[in-house]
Amino acid sequence: MSAPQQRYDGRPRLLSRQAASIAEHMRAVGPLPKSVVPQLIDLVTASGLRGRGGGWFPSGRKMASVFGRDNRYVVVNGMEGEPASGKDKLLLRLAPHLVLDGAELAALAVGADRITVAVHRGTGLAGHVLSAIADRVAAGWGEVEIDVSEPPSRYVSSESTAVAGFVGGGEARPKADSARVSGVDGRPTLVSNVETFAHIALIARYGPNWFRQAGTADAPGTALFTVSGAVRNPGVYELPVGVSGETILRVANGCREPISALLVGGYGGAWIPPTQLHRPFSPEGLAPLGASLGAGIVVALPARTCGLFETVRVASWMAAQTANQCGPCFKGLPAIADDFAMIARDCSRAAYERLRFRLGVVNGRGACAHPDGVVKFVDSALKTFALDIRRHLSGQPCPGGPRVLPIPELPAESEDWR
């Protein structure tokens, strides 16, 4: 199927339909299109929409795999555990009804009678979403019961199986079984990202052909990018999937100083060199670099900041975010972070050799993708910062420079997984 990109008017789709109240929402997008529910899975499949939480899994296929089984459930994943991401929080604040519409329509299409919106604790988002839900009930808008849940603010608690487990009254730790098979209380559960549901709300109204006017043939539509680091105007920008890295930086008003790399996708994403900014930022466009679009995170690293030290900070934090379930993860990630620290700080060649071996051993061996994300991130640092590695290993470590990547405080030991 071809993507008639030339017809896309360049206007944001999600961010141009902001509405705090249900009345404003009605004016922006019209009523909830319940008549399309029987065809919704086919429409979403035809639209080519892929999940915006980071996995880019085809949404229509995911919905179809939950459809037709008993006792289904829908979870809107607004956890946004990636520290450098802000798009889901923003979308829930600016257009909560678009997200909730998508969730309602998806629930009706797969035959689920309950929806839970999962958001981070302590952000005030839960109250915001609850008042949007109350607004809908008062207006007689929608018919599926929606509630809000606040899983603990840990990185791996954003993972779909962890969110579903928590909503079902269990711990917010990743599980071996997919939520589609055994999610909330063991029910087949559709867990999708906040932004994905918002796109579904628009596909239901304007159709798959409209959706495909933006983006690439393999990954149609627009996506929310959270751009930060050395750009003049950090923020969340909605752009068609497949725009170049240069365009993304230009939209954020360009870089205020020379940059040495771009972090793409998040802390489970990859560093790429500035020479690759011409590439289309889409799953397929970034795959040759071993990178992925992930949750749409783009961080420009100032050249005066040491990429190795930034990698150490993130890798150590990610190692501490393990759910302590799988040996290769809770043993392997701290070992990998330590190796990298010994390269950056102590110029250790032995650590470098050991690290390269360990990356191969740990990859793919956890129940969830957490260890794989760290392996990808660290591996990309070895490639993108190859020159810096050589300099550090030859006994010339750099002063480090200003810190760029946000490192949230670790949850207290006492804060458990419930």
Number of amino acids touching another protein (CB under 8 A): 14
Between 72 and 358, CB nearer to another protein: 358
Distance CA 160, CA 368 (A): 10
- Asked if 217 touches another protein (CB under 8 A), the answer is no
CB of 388 to another protein, least distance (A): 27
Minimum distance from residue 24 beta carbon to another protein (Å)? 46
* Cα–Cα distance measured from residue 397 to residue 175, given in angstroms and rounded to the nearest whole number: 41
Nearer to another protein, 188 or 366 (CB): 366
By CB under 8 A, the residues from 174 to 203 that bind another protein are: 175-176
In this complex, which beta carbon is closest to another protein, that of residue 1 or of residue 361?
361
In terms of DSSP H, where are the helices of 150-233? 160-167, 194-212
Using CB under 8 A, pick the residue from 7, 232, 331, 418 that binds another protein: 331
What are the C-alpha distances in Å from 18 to residues 3, 133, 140, 247, 316?
26, 16, 20, 24, 38
Stretch that binds another protein, among 20-28, 227-235, 296-304, 365-373 (CB under 8 A): 365-373
Residue 53's closest CA among 172, 190, 171, 244?
190
Q: Which residues, including other chains, have CB under 8 Å from residue 17's CB and lie 6 or more apart? A: 25, 28, 29, 95, 98, 202
Q: Tell me which of 34, 128, 365, 383 binds another protein, using CB under 8 A.
A: 365
| 361 near another protein, judged by CB under 8 A | yes
Give CA–CA dist 98/76, Å, rounded: 12
CB-nearer residue toward another protein: 133 or 329 = 329
Q: Specify the DSSP element, H or E, that contains 42.
A: helix 40-47
Site string for another protein, 366-385 (x = CB under 8 A): xx------------------
| Shortest separation between residue 291's beta carbon and another protein, angstroms | 24
In whole angstroms, how close is the CB of 366 to another protein at the nearest point?
Answer: 6
Overall residue count recorded for the chain in this entry:
418
- Which residue, 71 or 363, has its beta carbon nearer to another protein? 363
Question: By rule CB under 8 A, what string of x and - marks binding of each residue 4-23 to another protein?
Answer: --------------------
Nearer to another protein, 199 or 358 (CB): 358
Place of tokens 């590439």: 279
Name the minimum Å distance from CB 361 to another protein.
Answer: 5
Which residues fall within 8 angstroms of residue 263, CB to CB, at 6 or more apart?
A: 84, 229, 269, 270, 271, 297, 298, 299, 301, 405
Instruction: Write the DSSP string, 240-282.
Output: ETT-BHHHHHHHTT-BSS-EEEEEESSTTSEEE-GGGTTSB-S
Q: Which stretch binds another protein (CB under 8 A): 19-27, 114-122, 364-372, 400-408?
A: 364-372
- Identify the residue among 328, 400, 401, 411 touching another protein (CB under 8 A): 328
- DSSP of 60-107, one letter per residue? HHHHHHHTTSSSEEEEEEE----TT--HHHHHHHH-HHHHHHHHHHHH
Angle, alpha carbons 329-331-335 (nearest 5°): 105
For strands 297-302 and 259-264, give the pairing.
Answer: antiparallel
* Contact of 260 with 301, CB cutoff 8 Å: yes
Whichever of 93 and 365 has its CB closer to another protein, that residue is: 365
Report residue 218: phi and psi, to 5°: -85, -25
Query: Which residue in the set 51, 183, 269, 332 belongs to the binding site for another protein (CB under 8 A)?
Result: 332
Is 234 a residue that touches another protein (CB under 8 A)? Answer: no
Q: In this complex, which beta carbon is closest to another protein, that of residue 57 or of residue 357?
A: 357
Letters for 298-327 (x = contact with another protein by CB under 8 A, - = none) are ---------------------------xxx
Q: How far is the CB of 72 from another protein (least distance, A)?
A: 25
Encoding tokens for residue 218?
């393999």
Q: Decide whether 238 or 339 has the Cβ nearer to another protein.
A: 339
Residues that bind another protein (CB under 8 A): 175-176, 325-329, 331-332, 358, 361, 365-367
